[in-house]
A = this chain, B = another copy of it.
Amino acid sequence: MLILITYDVNTQTEAGRRRLRKVAKQCVNYGQRVQNSVFECQMDAAKCREVKAILENIIDKDVDSLRFYYIGDKYKNKVEHIGAKPGFDVKDPLIF
Q: Spell out A's residues near B (CB within 8 Å).
A: 4, 6-8, 10-12, 34-38, 52, 55-56, 59-72, 77-86, 95-96
| Contact for A81 among B65, B85, B95, CB less than 8 A | B65
Apart from A4-B4, A8-B35, what are 13 other A-B pairs with CB-CB below 8 Å?
Answer: A4-B69, A34-B67, A35-B65, A52-B82, A56-B82, A60-B83, A61-B82, A61-B84, A65-B81, A66-B83, A68-B82, A69-B80, A72-B78
Q: List 13 A-B contacts (CB under 8 A).
A: A34-B67, A55-B82, A59-B82, A61-B84, A62-B83, A63-B83, A65-B82, A67-B79, A67-B80, A68-B80, A69-B69, A69-B71, A69-B80
